[in-house]
Structure 1
Amino acid sequence: MRVLHTSDWHVGRTFHGVDLLSDQRTVLQAIAALVQEHRVDVVVIAGDLYDRAVPSAEAISVLTGAFAAIRAAGAVIVASSGNHDSAPRLGAFREFLDAGGLHLRTDVRAVGTPIVLHDEHGPVIFHAIPYLDPEMVRGPWELTGRLRHEEILTAAMQRIRGDLDARPGCRSVVLAHAFVTGAVPGGSERSIAVGGVESVSAEIFDGVGYVALGHLHGRQRIADHIRYSGSPLPFSFGEAGHHKGVLIVDIDGAGSIDVTPVDLPVPRPLAEISGTLEQLLSGHDELAEHYLSVTLTDPVRPLESMRRVRSRFPHAVTLSWQPPVGSVDDDAAPTRPGANDHELVEEFLLVCRGAGADPVESAIIDRALAAALQDADR
């Protein structure tokens, strides 16, 4: 059986205020194309299909379109809810969707109930564990005491092993949305810490043929059979160097696995650049279509800097100012005894941007202060 492992689609997410739905539609359609190209039997999605509990109508349209394209390409879909999803909303009409080849697992009470799929060698057992909030499982699983992710995921795997033990020799795949010890976060994940501890040990999954992990956005290997696929798009500049894609997992008749990373297209690359405003505006032609994080190093903060940067780099999304060391007196007192209002404004500008007011600005300051004094006297 050939399985495509993906996770953390976060449909509906924005990137520094920029709508990513178009980019997400592109990469999800690319996943459907990979399904057809590689003759994938099953696509597993390990949580965080949406970015928020109540997705927009446009986000729902993008996700349902991706599901339809994957099904049309010939693969069955097995997916679980993540910590960003609303499990009840995502799992609505589950029984009807199962009949159409879309198996959504969002209810903690169903943990341990398998999805059984077949190939020419027999059954492959899929267990999709939804994100497990400790307090949400306490009642349904009749658990007591302090609950951390380690305890509740262990309890989930006990239920799953109870099913697998009744099927000796069957090949197995488990989906889980968790932070496994030894993995490295990408920087754009929402913390799932409970009681200060969010990580779980890889030993929890002992005995499973393949573990498809979600939650962390960087592709990584915990063990040969325990892997994160990573998100299909970068969601922070810390992920700019990541290879975004999916994992294709071949499971033979004996349960042995072979894992092949496959990169996805990059709708718009990310880059970080720094320099003076004039340096940036006269170079970096190759970055004109990138999402950019810009750091200006001018000794004096340039006026209208973001507008000027975007005139050349329309997809610049963040801008900061880091003047050379010593060009701004960071220890300068914001006020000095006896300073008048105009002098106080001058000192404020000096501290904030590295230079006082020029003659035009000085005249504007005087007019604003005069108007303020008139208003105060009324």
Structure 2
Amino acid sequence: MRILHTSDWHIGRTFHGHATVEALHDVLQSLAQVVRDERVDVVIVAGDIFDSAMPSGEHFRVLTAALTALREAGAVVVATSGNHDSAARLGFQASFARLAGIHVLTDPERVLEPVTVDGVHIYGIPYLEPSLVRHLFPGETLRRHNDVLARVMQRIRDDAASRGGRYVVVSHSFVGAVGAPDEASDVERDITAGGLDIVSLDVFDGPDYVALGHIHGRAVLAERIRYSGAPLHYSFSEAGKPRGVWIVDLDDGFRGARWVDLPIPRRLSVLTGTIDELLTLDRFATAEEDWVSAILTDDVRPLDAMARLRARFPWCATLEHRPATVAPASTESYAARIAQKSDLDIVDGFLGHVRNGQALTDAERDLVLDALGELDADGVAS
């Protein structure tokens, strides 16, 4: 059997305020070609199909188009819900979809009902919030995600043993061997509390393959336990992480896995320098069609910096001012620093501080003087 492992589609997520639906639609459509080229039997989607619990009609249309294309390419589809999804909404009409070879597994009470394809049993574990599933384990103390998954995996191992043959597990979880929070990007909603909900790798002992979701970068925890990551970049913190899928082969057991890259609609570039450098130097020309995160090192924050940058980098999405020269912090109290200053000087100093050294313009100075004059007039009148 040949499996394509993907996860974390996050349909509906924006990229720094920019819609990603069209780009994601194109990338998900490319999965169908991978299915054809690689002669894939089963596509696994390991959770976080939607980015929110309230997906719009447009987001459902993207999902429908992707699932239809995968099915038409000849693959059975097995998808689970993640911590971003609403299990109820994602699982709506799952019974009808199953008739078409699309299996959407969102019910924690049905984890022992695998999808069986060519003798391989595929167990889909939806994201299991401990507080919401404790009632399924009466008399047991299950405080952490690790506790719940350990108990569920034991049941799955027992069930698989009784059925016989090969089996695969799909789980959306934060597995400890990833390296704790260091591997998570800033868009992976935290499903840990002080590290208590990180799942131990040995919880997943037994299956021929474990397809994990939640981490947005690919990761190999063990030969048969892997994260595929997201198919699209959703943050500049993911800039160095490739986008793609795992192609997994099973025979009598796990035979091997290899990586297949997916197209990247627009690259991510983080550029550092003064605004003049970014706008003029040839070495930045390769980023002109990229999503750009600009870090400006000018001593004073440039005026209209974003508008000026977008003249060269139309897809500049974020801007940070990080001066190359930083004034030493003063130990003098604020009261002492303003003791001999006029009201105008105090306003000028405050605005200079919050605007990284940019002083009042002549027009701003006139406005401040007018306002201070009105305050003085009100004081005399009272």
- Bucket of the pairwise TM-score, normalised by the shorter protein: over 0.9
2-structure distance, mates of 1:320, 1:265: 28
1-structure distance, mates of 2:93, 2:376: 66
8 Å CA contact 1:192, 1:198 repeated in 2: yes
8 Å CA contact 1:7, 1:48 repeated in 2: yes
Number of the residue aligned with 1:221: 220
2-structure distance, mates of 1:309, 1:330: 31
Closer, same or farther in 2 for the Cα pair 1:172/1:20, shift >3 Å? same
Closer, same or farther in 2 for the Cα pair 1:205/1:276, shift >3 Å? same
8 Å CA contact 1:329, 1:351 repeated in 2: no
Read off the aligned partner of 1:336 and give its amino acid letter.
I
1:351 aligns with 2:353: yes
2-structure distance, mates of 1:137, 1:30: 36
Match of 1:177 among 172, 181, 192: 172
Number of the residue aligned with 1:63: 63
Read off the aligned partner of 2:368 and give its amino acid letter.
I
Closer, same or farther in 2 for the Cα pair 1:129/1:297, shift >3 Å? same
2-structure distance, mates of 1:375, 1:146: 66
2-structure distance, mates of 1:311, 1:375: 47
Number of the residue aligned with 2:113: 113
2-structure distance, mates of 1:370, 1:37: 76
Q: Post-superposition shift, 1:34?
A: 0.7
8 Å CA contact 1:8, 1:46 repeated in 2: yes
Which SS does the other structure have where 1:199 is aligned? coil
Q: Provide Cα deviations, 1:140-197, integer angstroms capped at 9, x if missing partner.
A: 23254351111100111122112201122x1111101111111042313111114641
2-structure distance, mates of 1:124, 1:103: 15
1-structure distance, mates of 2:291, 2:272: 14
Read off the aligned partner of 1:137 and give its amino acid letter.
V
Closer, same or farther in 2 for the Cα pair 1:275/1:8, shift >3 Å? same
8 Å CA contact 2:224, 2:254 repeated in 1: no
8 Å CA contact 1:112, 1:163 repeated in 2: yes
Q: Post-superposition shift, 1:329?
A: 4.9
Match of 1:135 among 122, 131, 154: 131
8 Å CA contact 2:35, 2:75 repeated in 1: yes
Read off the aligned partner of 1:356 and give its amino acid letter.
A
2-structure distance, mates of 1:287, 1:348: 36
2-structure distance, mates of 1:375, 1:29: 68
8 Å CA contact 1:137, 1:143 repeated in 2: no
Closer, same or farther in 2 for the Cα pair 1:370/1:310, shift >3 Å? farther
Structure 1 runs of 4+ aligned residues shifted over 3 Å read: 328-335, 358-361, 367-378
8 Å CA contact 2:40, 2:75 repeated in 1: yes
Q: Post-superposition shift, 1:357?
A: 2.2
Number of the residue aligned with 2:369: 366
Closer, same or farther in 2 for the Cα pair 1:340/1:63, shift >3 Å? same
1:155 aligns with 2:151: yes
Q: Post-superposition shift, 1:213?
A: 0.5
Q: Post-superposition shift, 1:311?
A: 2.1
Which SS does the other structure have where 1:139 is aligned? helix
Q: Post-superposition shift, 1:60?
A: 1.3
Q: Provide Cα deviations, 1:24-50, integer angstroms capped at 9, x if missing partner.
A: 112101111111111111100000000
Read off the aligned partner of 1:14 and give its amino acid letter.
T
8 Å CA contact 2:209, 2:254 repeated in 1: no
1-structure distance, mates of 2:142, 2:209: 30
Read off the aligned partner of 1:21 and give its amino acid letter.
V
Can you give the 5+ residue segments of structure 1 that lack an aligned partner in the other structure? Answer: none
Number of the residue aligned with 1:305: 305
Read off the aligned partner of 1:257 and give its amino acid letter.
R
Number of the residue aligned with 1:204: 203
Closer, same or farther in 2 for the Cα pair 1:347/1:157, shift >3 Å? same
Number of the residue aligned with 1:272: 270
2-structure distance, mates of 1:84, 1:143: 29
8 Å CA contact 1:177, 1:215 repeated in 2: yes
Closer, same or farther in 2 for the Cα pair 1:375/1:92, shift >3 Å? farther
Which SS does the other structure have where 1:179 is aligned? coil
1-structure distance, mates of 2:194, 2:360: 51
Q: Provide Cα deviations, 1:9-38, integer angstroms capped at 9, x if missing partner.
A: 101001111111111112101111111111
Read off the aligned partner of 1:186 and give its amino acid letter.
A
The root-mean-square deviation of aligned C-alpha atoms, in Å, is 2.0
Closer, same or farther in 2 for the Cα pair 1:204/1:278, shift >3 Å? same
Closer, same or farther in 2 for the Cα pair 1:272/1:101, shift >3 Å? same
Moved more, 361-370 or 170-179: 361-370
Match of 1:256 among 254, 272, 284: 254
Can you give the 5+ residue segments of structure 2 that lack an aligned partner in the other structure? Answer: none
8 Å CA contact 2:134, 2:142 repeated in 1: no
Of all paired residues, the percent bearing the same amino acid is 44
8 Å CA contact 1:148, 1:194 repeated in 2: no
Which SS does the other structure have where 1:175 is aligned? strand
Which SS does the other structure have where 1:261 is aligned? strand
8 Å CA contact 1:295, 1:320 repeated in 2: yes
Report how many aligned residue pairs link the two structures.
371
Q: Post-superposition shift, 1:375?
A: 8.0
Q: Where does 1:28-67 land on structure 2 (aligned, <5 Å)?
A: 28-67=28-67
TM-score with structure 2 length normalisation? Answer: 0.92
Moved more, 173-182 or 158-167: 158-167
2-structure distance, mates of 1:341, 1:310: 38
